């Protein structure tokens, strides 16, 4: 072995960077292996962070001590809080980023990370020999022959494993435009006993910035008072830029329908499944045939970039069809395509083979995070990367574990539980609708939910902890004031439950002297807490029932093949997932309430404790 580390992270994307950051911060000697150092933190698709469900996860990553939120605040060029007209439970921060500035911010933070070494290279093989009838990670071998010894590997290869790009009839090996595929690792994983599947994602054309007729488009400005992603950022000072909106039309759709035979998704050239919730323009035209137009967001890729990302028309149609399609769209009639849209097929590991810690069931010490687990999106990848990095470091340090976030604690917990109990057959994307407890899983309170947890595991530093304690103390003081103040003949806490009450109402009712310099974020938390008090009380009762189900452990030795009282399908699904609790078993697709009752009776008889 040429070098030795505790943990090797494969891949420098959003999952890999969070995994490497977390593992290093927790004291594990960590190597991040990436094709090229300059590609670390690169945004393969749209340079944007956040959105519905996704923005909440970025706040959670930040609250736990991860880096995505801080890097977004440094590199973003437009901030918007989505769903402001709805309740705070679905408010979602989103930012358009400068592709270069964001990657620079990630690279700068990793450069200062403790216990982290960055190695340029491509991993060809994971060394995991048999030991005591189990395979255990012992190191990795790079394509150039270098060998690195380690006790854990975190694979975050994104869309690169045996990747194939499609643009019409043209097929090119590669994980993204201009970068090669990672072929050897797929073969190696199969040799280690893992089953691989195949998924597809896509990207739209990019056009030259100076070739767009912005007068024919609707402007989409950012927020006047932008809200940062990170709880460590006081304010956003960089200038905000405009994005624009335009639309496809009936003639565009006719052109696409007339060329479906040349679209890889319809010609049979691509057989894998794409993301249902982020479909290509071909899929939109077919699935929503009654719609006369589809929205397109024109989003700059940076302050100085000459490229506009055409968000909403992801496509793998041939280049000539893409050019004809744009000529029909308002604002894009004379647009010059600087990069055509394309689809990417890639290998992934179906998560029936994965534990809730994101460690493999097949190979000890092998962890996976990001699109290799069947997810889509930077945010989903980053959340998994942090969880994998923490679990790998804690396991090697001999700490009690595992580190698992419940569904009632975080969107990250919802995502990982979904992946384990309902293994994806298409790229998984987070939405607020996936969370049963979204009233409490808000973007505004992610620090209150998770910063104490981040502190306990060692990711939250003294500066963040001090800031959190100050905010918590302010919320306590202001909450007491609200409870003791009478406003318009009733308790102020009752007034705040009205939907028309604003932050200005609360400030006026308390008065400037009472506020006494408390941060505005603390005041906003008090208002939201008061508004949701009744709903949250009911949800707390639901959470308590949920936690009781989650506390009913299923022994790892449970042998479902001998539980003949269960349906054959239930035995098969339970054996494949290997749920840790009765609650998790109940969420497995295809498991009925009757199955859960039968399982409970069986376990009570065999394992009374």
Pair (491, 433) in one structural domain: no
CA distances from 263 to 24, 29, 98, 219, 268 (A): 45, 47, 31, 32, 9
Q: Residue 179: inside a domain, yes or no?
A: no
Pair (328, 384) in one structural domain: no
Paired with 125 in beta bridges are 141
Pair (50, 194) in one structural domain: yes
294 burial type by CB count under 10 A (0-12 exposed, 13-18 middle, 19+ buried): middle
Contact between residue 603 and residue 554 where contact means Cβ atoms under 8 Å apart:
yes
Q: How many Å apart are CA 499 and CA 476, to the nearest integer?
A: 23
The domain that holds 593 is classified in CATH as: 1.10.150.570
Place of tokens 């994602």: 201
Q: Which two tokens stand for residue 7?
A: 């943990």
Pair (297, 383) in one structural domain: no
- Which residues fall within 8 angstroms of residue 239, CB to CB, at 6 or more apart? 77
Name the H helices within 458-519.
462-484, 492-495, 503-510, 512-515
The domain that holds 272 is classified in CATH as: 2.40.30.260
What DSSP string runs through 539-601?
HHHHHHHHHHHHHSB--TT--GGG-TTS-HHHHHHHHHH--SBHHHHHTSTT--HHHHHHHHH
Q: Residue 175: inside a domain, yes or no?
A: no
Q: Residue 198: inside a domain, yes or no?
A: yes
Pair (248, 306) in one structural domain: yes
Pair (316, 350) in one structural domain: no
Confidence at residue 374, expressed as pLDDT on a 0 to 100 scale: 95
Residues 222-243: tens digit of each pLDDT: 999 999 999 999 999 999 999 9
What DSSP string runs through 372-422?
GGTB-SHHHHHHHHHHHHHHHHHHHHT-S------TTT-HHHHHHHHHHHS
Range of the domain at 86: 3-159+190-202+346-456
| N-to-C CA span, the chain | 47
Domain boundary among 456, 475, 507: 456
Q: Which stretches of 168-222 are assigned E, i.e. beta strand?
A: 170-173, 197-203, 206-208, 218-220
Pair (230, 323) in one structural domain: yes
What DSSP string runs through 269-331?
S--SB--TTS--HHHHHHHTTT-S--EEEEEESSSS--EEEEET----S-HHHHHHHHHTSTT
The domain that holds 477 is classified in CATH as: 1.10.10.1800
Pair (195, 227) in one structural domain: no
Place of tokens 């620079």: 104
> Among 426, 487, 70, which Cα is nearest to 276's?
426
Q: Residue 172: inside a domain, yes or no?
A: no
Confidence at residue 21, expressed as pLDDT on a 0 to 100 scale: 98
Domain boundary among 542, 560, 595: 542
Q: Which two tokens stand for residue 140?
A: 């990795």
Contact between residue 434 and residue 422 where contact means Cβ atoms under 8 Å apart:
no
Confidence at residue 276, expressed as pLDDT on a 0 to 100 scale: 72
> Among 280, 282, 335, which Cα is nearest to 311's?
280
Pair (268, 139) in one structural domain: no
The low-confidence residues of the chain, meaning pLDDT below 50, are none
Pair (152, 8) in one structural domain: yes
Within a 10 A sphere around the Cβ of 500, how many other Cβ atoms?
A: 5
Confidence at residue 51, expressed as pLDDT on a 0 to 100 scale: 95
Confidence at residue 549, expressed as pLDDT on a 0 to 100 scale: 83
Q: Residue 547: inside a domain, yes or no?
A: no
Pair (439, 331) in one structural domain: no
Domain boundary among 542, 561, 585: 542
Strand order in the sheet with 197-203: 170-173, 164-167, 342-348, 197-203
Q: Which two tokens stand for residue 446?
A: 């992610």
Q: Residue 194: inside a domain, yes or no?
A: yes
Confidence at residue 384, expressed as pLDDT on a 0 to 100 scale: 98
Q: How many Å apart are CA 259 and CA 169, to the nearest integer?
A: 12
Q: Residue 415: inside a domain, yes or no?
A: yes
What DSSP string runs through 82-134?
ETTTS-GGG-EEEEEE-HHHHHHHHHHHHHT-TTEEEEES-EEEEE--EETTE
Contact between residue 351 and residue 404 where contact means Cβ atoms under 8 Å apart:
no
Confidence at residue 608, expressed as pLDDT on a 0 to 100 scale: 61
Helix (H) or strand (E) holding 25: helix 14-25
Ramachandran area for residue 331 (φ above 0: left; ψ -120 to 50: alpha; else beta): left
Confidence at residue 561, expressed as pLDDT on a 0 to 100 scale: 87
Count of domains in the chain?
A: 4
With H, G, I as helix, E, B as strand and everything else as coil, classify residue 139.
Answer: strand
Residues 174-209: tens digit of each pLDDT: 888 878 888 889 999 999 999 999 999 999 999 999
Paired with 171 in beta bridges are 166
Pair (8, 25) in one structural domain: yes
What is the chain's alpha carbon radius of gyration, rounded to the nearest angstrom? 25
Paired with 308 in beta bridges are 207, 300
Q: Residue 583: inside a domain, yes or no?
A: yes
């Amino acid at each position: 072995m040429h070098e030795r580390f505790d943990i090797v992270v494969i891949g420098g994307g959003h999952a890999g960077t969070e995994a490497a950051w977390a593992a290093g911060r927790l004291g594990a000697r960590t190597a991040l292996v990436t094709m090229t150092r300059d590609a670390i933190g690169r945004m393969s698709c749209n340079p944007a962070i956040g959105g519905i469900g996704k923005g909440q996860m970025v706040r959670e990553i930040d609250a736990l001590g991860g880096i995505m939120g801080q890097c977004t605040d440094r590199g973003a060029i437009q901030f918007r809080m989505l769903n402001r007209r709805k309740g705070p439970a679905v408010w979602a921060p989103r930012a358009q980023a400068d592709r270069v500035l964001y990657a620079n911010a990630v690279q700068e933070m990793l450069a200062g990370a403790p216990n982290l070494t960055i190695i340029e290279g491509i991993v060809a093989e994971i060394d995991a020999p048999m030991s005591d009838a189990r395979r255990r990670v012992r190191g990795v071998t790079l394509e150039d022959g270098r060998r690195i010894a380690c006790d854990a590997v975190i694979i975050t290869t994104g869309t690169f494993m045996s990747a194939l790009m499609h643009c019409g009839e043209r097929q090119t090996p590669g994980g993204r435009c201009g970068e090669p595929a990672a072929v050897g690792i797929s073969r190696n994983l199969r040799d280690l006993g893992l089953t691989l599947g195949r998924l597809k994602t896509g990207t739209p054309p990019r056009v030259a910035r100076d070739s767009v007729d912005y007068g024919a488009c609707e402007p989409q400005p950012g927020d006047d008072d932008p809200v940062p992603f990170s709880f460590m950022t006081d304010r956003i000072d960089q200038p905000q830029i405009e994005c624009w909106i335009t639309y496809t039309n009936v003639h565009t759709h006719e052109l696409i329908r007339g060329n479906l035979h040349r679209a890889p998704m319809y010609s049979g050239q691509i057989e894998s499944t794409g993301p249902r919730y982020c479909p290509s323009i071909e899929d939109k035209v077919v699935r929503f045939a009654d719609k006369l137009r589809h929205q397109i967001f024109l989003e700059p890729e940076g302050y100085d970039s000459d490229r506009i990302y055409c968000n909403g028309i992801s496509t793998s149609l041939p280049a000539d069809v893409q050019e004809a399609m744009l000529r029909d769209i308002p604002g894009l009639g004379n647009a010059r395509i600087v990069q055509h849209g394309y689809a990417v097929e890639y290998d992934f590991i179906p998560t029936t083979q994965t534990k809730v810690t994101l460690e493999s069931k097949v190979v000890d010490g092998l962890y996976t995070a990001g699109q290799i687990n069947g997810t889509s999106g930077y945010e989903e990848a980053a959340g998994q990367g942090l969880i994998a990095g923490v679990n790998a470091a804690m396991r090697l340090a001999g700490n009690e574990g595992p580190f698992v976030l419940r569904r009632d604690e975080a969107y990250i917990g919802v995502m990982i539980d979904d992946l384990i109990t309902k293994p994806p057959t298409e790229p998984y994307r987070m939405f607020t609708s996936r969370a049963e407890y979204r009233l409490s899983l808000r973007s505004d309170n992610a620090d209150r939910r998770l910063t104490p947890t981040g502190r306990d595991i060692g990711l939250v530093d003294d500066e963040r902890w001090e800031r959190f304690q100050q905010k918590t103390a302010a919320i306590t003081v202001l909450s007491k004031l609200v409870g003791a103040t009478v406003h318009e003949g009733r308790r102020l806490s009752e007034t705040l439950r009205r939907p028309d009450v604003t932050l200005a109402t609360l400030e006026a009712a308390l008065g400037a002297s009472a506020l006494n310099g408390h941060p505005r974020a603390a005041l906003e938390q008090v208002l939201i807490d008061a508004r949701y008090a009744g709903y949250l009380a009911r949800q707390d009762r639901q959470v308590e029932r949920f936690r009781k189900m989650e506390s009913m452990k299923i022994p790892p030795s449970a042998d479902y093949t001998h539980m003949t009282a269960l349906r054959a399908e239930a035995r098969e699904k339970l054996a494949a997932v290997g749920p840790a609790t009765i609650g998790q078993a109940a969420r497995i697709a295809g498991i009925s309430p009757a199955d859960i009752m039968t399982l409970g009776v069986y376990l009570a008889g065999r394992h009374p404790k």
